[in-house]
Amino acid sequence: MQIIVVGCGKVGRTIIEQLSMENHDVTVIDTNSSVIHDVTNNFDVMGVVGNGASYGVQTEAGIEHADLLIAMTDSDELNLLCCLIAKKAGGCNTIARVRNPVYNNEIGFIKEELGLSMAINPEAAAATEIARILRFPSAIKIETFAKGKVELLKFIIGEDSILNNCSLIDVAKSIKSEVLVCAVERGDDVIIPNGSFVLKHDDTISIVASPKNSREFFQKIGVETHQVKNSMIVGGGTIAYYLAKELLNSGIDVKIIDKDHARCEQLSELLPEAVIINGDATNQDTLMEEGLVHAESFVSLTGIDEGNIFLSLYAKSCSKAKIVTKINRISYDEIINDFHLGSLIYPKFITAENIVRYVRAMQNTVGSNVETLYKIIGNKAEALEFLITADAPVVGIPLGELKLKDNLLIASINRAGEILTPKGKSQIQVGDTVIIVTTHMSLHDIKDILRD
């Protein structure tokens, strides 16, 4: 597909990298010539220096033949204008990054009136992911499928866990829960396991189940499933605002600490039910005075990655809080993972996943559609949800007879709201949504799960 990306900041660059990896014909636009030079040197893309809202610049970038324009600059208004011009000039699909909470309340109207295919709010999406984790703090990451009817949860097996040294067959026999272990991270390896696979402590495992079954599973293995009662948030930016709103609506007490006095006053007006503290959280006395020891969750959301890491390490050392750490730039995953910083949140990757999912859905030619996509283990494994239509080559065939690719698992079937755990005799039907977990990247259609 021919795709134009306007804006090469953190989020834009991540999207460019993902789309380039998937072999799309990408052209990037940015006003900074050195940024364009850097991006075109690092990725297989074309670059245009200029204002993305200019008809002339868009024409130079090939808007007349583009399938999609993605506007990811730091300005909501500029992004919307870019999309409006692209719609008029090329008639292509458009995606805009819209971050301002004022616009967020009117996003339906904006999408309809401007003809946007999608409006992306990285901060709101990150806040939703954090809130989901704090409602189920034993998991380090939670993704949802089938409009919330299916969850994919990641958690680490402790040394004293009853899962330690158990094969998946033994787990199924002893625990008898309708959950499916679909991926295991062991060191640098990612495994799509079979029944004989033996779990070990320090494995990070991903399970797929309905919310009810996942909670039942965690209870049976002796893991806490109740949401936190309170949360201490450091950093009062846009993510903190969206997160606080979600947590307060869920009955979770919220305390936000920020050193900017003017921002604290704003937050006090916007979030009257939250406790807003004007203070420097890098001073450990501040955190202790505000009750870190008794906090059930601690979320570091400052604009500095290193600061978030140190704050989370300190909180971990002196409390039993569920730790959530926001990372914007640092990409040394192996080192960061060694710190055991709880749940890591990368807003730019959340946004990129949403856009890659949309692009893959646009490309579909067979009887299926990518409804949801998550890169569950960096760029090593994906979980995808396909909507099955009449032309899909998997319809009506027992799963045990399908010639599936290696390192691929059919994890769940959603049939009109009923969640089915796949068995060998199960059959996929038209109208089902099917969750696939695989180490194969870039699946576009349900036919791609089959061996050639």
Instruction: From 83, 104, 120, give the residue that closes a domain.
Output: 120
- The two tokens of residue 377 are 């283990």
Q: Is the pLDDT of residue 441 over 90?
A: no
* pLDDT at res. 349: 87
Residue 352 to residues 15, 160, 266, 349, 365, Cα–Cα distance (Å): 5, 37, 30, 5, 22
Q: Is the pLDDT of residue 22 over 80?
A: yes
Give CA–CA dist 452/437, Å, rounded: 19
Give me the mean pLDDT over the 301-316 stretch.
Answer: 94
* Domain assignment present for 429: yes
Average pLDDT of the chain to the nearest whole number: 92
- Quickly list H helices, 147-237: 168-175, 211-220
pLDDT in tens, 319-351: 999 999 999 876 666 677 777 788 899 998 888
Q: Locate the DSSP E strands across 50-111.
A: 68-71, 93-97
* pLDDT at res. 27: 98
In this structure, what is the dihedral angle of CA atoms 383, 389, 393, 394, given to the nearest 10 degrees? 60
Give me the mean pLDDT over the 47-53 stretch.
Answer: 97
Are residues 378 and 339 part of one domain? no
Are residues 372 and 406 part of one domain? yes
Crossing angle between the packed helical segments 347-363 and 10-21, to the nearest 10 degrees:
40
- The two tokens of residue 271 are 């979030």
- Taking the CB of residue 85, how many other CB atoms lie within 10 A of it? 21
CATH code, domain carrying 318: 3.40.50.720
CA-closest candidate to residue 127, choices 237, 1, 18, 261? 237
- The two tokens of residue 86 are 């692209």
- If you ran DSSP here, which 8-state letter would residue 451 be given? -
Are residues 403 and 295 part of one domain? no
Are residues 104 and 9 part of one domain? yes
Give CA–CA dist 323/296, Å, rounded: 9
Q: Locate the DSSP E strands across 93-140.
A: 93-97, 118-120
Are residues 324 and 237 part of one domain? yes
* pLDDT at res. 444: 84
Single pTM value for the model: 0.85
CA-closest candidate to residue 4, choices 56, 42, 43, 59? 59
* pLDDT at res. 80: 96
* Domain assignment present for 224: no
Give me the mean pLDDT over the 167-187 stretch.
Answer: 91
- Taking the CB of residue 391, how many other CB atoms lie within 10 A of it? 14
* Domain assignment present for 397: yes
Give me the mean pLDDT over the 423-448 stretch.
Answer: 92
Are residues 366 and 313 part of one domain? no
Can you tell me whether residue 145 is helix, strand or coil? Answer: strand
CATH code, domain carrying 443: 3.30.70.1450
Are residues 420 and 329 part of one domain? no
Give me the mean pLDDT over the 294-306 stretch.
Answer: 95
pLDDT in tens, 337-395: 777 788 899 998 888 888 888 888 787 655 557 888 888 877 789 999 999 989 899 99
* pLDDT at res. 371: 84
* Domain assignment present for 218: no
Are residues 382 and 304 part of one domain? no
Q: Which domain holds residue 438?
A: 360-449
Give CA–CA dist 12/39, Å, rounded: 10
Q: Evaluate whether 295 touches 288 at the Cβ level (below 8 Å).
A: no
Are residues 107 and 24 part of one domain? yes
Give me the mean pLDDT over the 101-127 stretch.
Answer: 90
* Domain assignment present for 264: yes
Instruction: From 97, 120, 143, give the residue that closes a domain.
Output: 120
- If you ran DSSP here, which 8-state letter would residue 147 be given? G
* Domain assignment present for 132: no
- The two tokens of residue 157 are 């097996």
Q: Evaluate whether 228 touches 188 at the Cβ level (below 8 Å).
A: no
What is the DSSP annotation of 336-350? HHHT--SEEE-HHHH
> Of residues 254 and 178, which shows the higher confidence score?
254
DSSP bridge pairs for 278? 258
* Domain assignment present for 351: no
Q: Tokens 């969850």, residue?
A: 151
Crossing angle between the packed helical segments 261-270 and 238-249, to the nearest 10 degrees:
30
Q: Evaluate whether 362 touches 68 at the Cβ level (below 8 Å).
A: yes
Single-letter residue type at 198: V
**43, burial (CB in 10 Å: exposed 0-12, middle 13-18, buried 19+):** middle
Are residues 386 and 334 part of one domain? no
- The two tokens of residue 390 are 């009449």
Q: Evaluate whether 183 touches 381 at the Cβ level (below 8 Å).
A: yes
Are residues 373 and 333 part of one domain? no
Give CA–CA dist 278/399, Å, rounded: 58
pLDDT in tens, 184-227: 999 889 999 999 999 999 999 999 999 889 989 999 998 877 89
* Domain assignment present for 205: no
Are residues 407 and 310 part of one domain? no
Q: Tell me which of 6-10, 43-47, 82-86, 175-179 is least confident.
A: 175-179
Q: What is the greatest pairwise CA distance in the chain?
A: 66
H helix count then E strand count, the chain: 15, 22
Contacts of 282 (CB under 8 A, 6+ apart): 307, 310, 311
- Indicate the number of domains in the chain: 3
- If you ran DSSP here, which 8-state letter would residue 31 be given? S
